[in-house]
């Protein structure tokens, strides 16, 4: 349920409404717009039927939210959310490019990759310190050492950083070293992890599960917002279909669909969507044309030597060429890179 307050509603009237909602055992989330304040009511809405909120001074209207995701919906927040991370706005006019290796291997290699992607226009360095892999025998990441390496390189080059967290117990650790914590496709419905990320105010990059519907995707985001963290960036990275030529099938429909359903920004991961570096550039162009707010791309200076996902990683030259091509696409749809 959403309670829309009248313009210039007195603070004491707003607080009286909030206190009443809390007394019913429900939670509130406040969205402060330019002219109006919106109060989102979280919990069993049947309780509200015995209490006509329209009778309270300052209430303009009460809107039942039909979608199961409340805080994520456009009904709760009609305008786009812009996630601000240390001077970088995700969801604004600029298409934000995140780039780097699948896994952090060592200081020298990460510094070389970060230098290359920064020169080409990336604002955020990506790299995995904890790597959930299909095989238990595959490289699992450097853990804490990897986090320290990423922070050192990002700080040195003036980049922001994003890295994956896979265990609720590691959230505090990742928050300490990274600017954005990523929750990967395999953990999209790890509800304990989502709740823990929600208790932090650190921005979260939430990837769509490989077999998840858009509704399930948005419900996972709702877990994070319901804990008080509204700094969520969604990521479409392809879903599993019957097609075997590509690693996954990019659901390009998800970009405009989520823009219609939710106020949260959405980016695209063309590397995991395709699994083939030769397809990454074309898919990236399609993502920007469809309205994506950014890209997260795997880049390695020597893909053939990468510890993981070398087959889908662009080298520095191809990444630079791609960003230049994307500049024209962004301009054509009223954006910039």
Q: What is the dihedral of CA 217, 223, 225, 227, to 10 degrees?
A: -170
User: Are both 264 and 313 inside the same structural domain?
Assistant: yes
User: Are both 258 and 190 inside the same structural domain?
Assistant: yes
**3-17, 33-47, 169-183, 262-276: which range is least confident on average?**
33-47
Asked if the structure places residue 337 within a domain, the reply is: no
Calculate mean pLDDT across residues 111-119: 98
Nearest one of 193, 5, 164, 143 to 100, comparing CA atoms: 164
User: Are both 161 and 227 inside the same structural domain?
Assistant: yes
Give the pLDDT confidence score for residue 306 in this predicted structure: 93
DSSP-assigned letters across all residues of 198-243: HHS-S-EEEEPPTT--HHHHHHHHHHHHHTT---EEEEE--B--S-
Number of domains in the chain: 2
Handedness of CA 25, 19, 199, 265 (dihedral sign): positive
Asked if the structure places residue 71 within a domain, the reply is: no
Give the pLDDT confidence score for residue 31 in this predicted structure: 80
User: Are both 87 and 58 inside the same structural domain?
Assistant: no
Asked if the structure places residue 18 within a domain, the reply is: yes
- CATH number for 248: 3.20.20.70
Nearest one of 90, 173, 292, 247 to 163, comparing CA atoms: 173
C-alpha to C-alpha distance for 108 and 106, rounded to whole angstroms = 6
Asked if the structure places residue 75 within a domain, the reply is: no
User: Are both 144 and 278 inside the same structural domain?
Assistant: yes
Pairing of strands 37-42, 27-32: antiparallel
**Is the model's pLDDT at 224 over the cut of 90?**
yes
User: Are both 111 and 238 inside the same structural domain?
Assistant: yes
Where residue 48 falls among pLDDT bands split at 50, 70, 90? low
**Is the model's pLDDT at 323 over the cut of 70?**
yes
Q: How far is CA 76 from CA 16, 101, 184, 284, in A?
A: 20, 37, 26, 30
**Is the model's pLDDT at 73 over the cut of 70?**
yes
- CATH number for 29: 3.30.70.1140
Q: Please give the distance of CA 204 from its chain centroid, rounded to a whole number.
A: 5
Asked if the structure places residue 78 within a domain, the reply is: no
User: Are both 43 and 170 inside the same structural domain?
Assistant: no
Asked if the structure places residue 70 within a domain, the reply is: no
| Average pLDDT over all residues of the chain | 93
**Taking the model in full, what pTM does it have?**
0.89
Mind listing the pLDDT tens digit for each residue in 129-180? 997 666 776 667 889 999 999 999 999 999 999 999 999 999 999 999 999 9
User: Are both 125 and 155 inside the same structural domain?
Assistant: yes
C-alpha to C-alpha distance for 287 and 108, rounded to whole angstroms = 32
Determine what percent of the chain is predicted with pLDDT higher than 90: 77
Q: What is the dihedral of CA 26, 32, 35, 38, to 10 degrees?
A: -20
Asked if the structure places residue 69 within a domain, the reply is: no
Its domain, for residue 46, covers 2-63
Enter the DSSP assignment of 314.
Answer: B
Calculate mean pLDDT across residues 53-59: 89
User: Are both 57 and 171 inside the same structural domain?
Assistant: no
Where residue 50 falls among pLDDT bands split at 50, 70, 90? low
Calculate mean pLDDT across residues 75-100: 96
**Is the model's pLDDT at 76 over the cut of 90?**
no
């780097």: which residue's tokens? 100
Give the pLDDT confidence score for residue 333 in this predicted structure: 96
User: Are both 46 and 126 inside the same structural domain?
Assistant: no
Asked if the structure places residue 57 within a domain, the reply is: yes
């Amino acid at each position: 349920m959403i309670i829309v307050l009248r313009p210039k509603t007195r603070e004491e009237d707003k607080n009286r409404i909030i206190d009443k909602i809390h007394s019913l055992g429900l939670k509130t989330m406040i969205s402060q717009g330019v002219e109006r304040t919106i109060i989102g009511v979280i919990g069993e809405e049947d309780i509200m039927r015995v209490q006509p909120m329209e009778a309270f001074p300052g209430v303009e209207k009460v809107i039942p939210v039909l979608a199961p995701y409340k805080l994520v919906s456009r009904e709760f927040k009609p305008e786009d959310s812009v996630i601000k991370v240390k001077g970088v706005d995700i969801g604004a006019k600029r298409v934000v490019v995140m780039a780097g290796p699948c896994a952090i291997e060592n200081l020298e290699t990460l510094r070389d990759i970060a230098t290359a992607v920064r020169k080409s226009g990336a604002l955020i360095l990506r790299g995995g310190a904890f790597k959930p892999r299909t095989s238990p025998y595959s490289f699992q990441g450097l853990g804490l050492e990897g986090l320290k390496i990423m922070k050192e390189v990002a700080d040195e080059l003036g980049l922001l950083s994003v890295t994956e967290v896979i265990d609720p117990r590691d959230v505090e650790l990742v928050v300490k070293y990274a600017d954005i914590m990523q929750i990967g496709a395999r953990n999209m419905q790890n509800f304990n992890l989502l709740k823990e990320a929600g208790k932090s105010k650190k921005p979260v990059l939430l990837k769509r599960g490989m077999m998840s519907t858009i509704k399930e995707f948005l419900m996972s985001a709702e877990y994070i917002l319901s804990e008080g963290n509204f700094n969520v960036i969604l990521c479409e990275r392809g879903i599993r279909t019957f097609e075997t030529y590509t690693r996954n099938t990019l659901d390009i429909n998800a970009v405009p669909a989520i823009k219609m359903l939710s106020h949260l920004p959405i980016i695209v991961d063309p590397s995991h969507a395709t699994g083939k570096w030769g397809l990454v550039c074309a898919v990236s162009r399609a993502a920007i044309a469809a309205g994506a707010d950014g890209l997260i791309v795997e880049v390695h200076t020597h893909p053939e030597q990468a510890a993981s996902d070398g087959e889908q990683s662009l080298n520095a030259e191809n990444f630079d060429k791609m960003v230049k091509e994307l500049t024209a696409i962004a301009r054509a749809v009223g954006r910039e890179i």
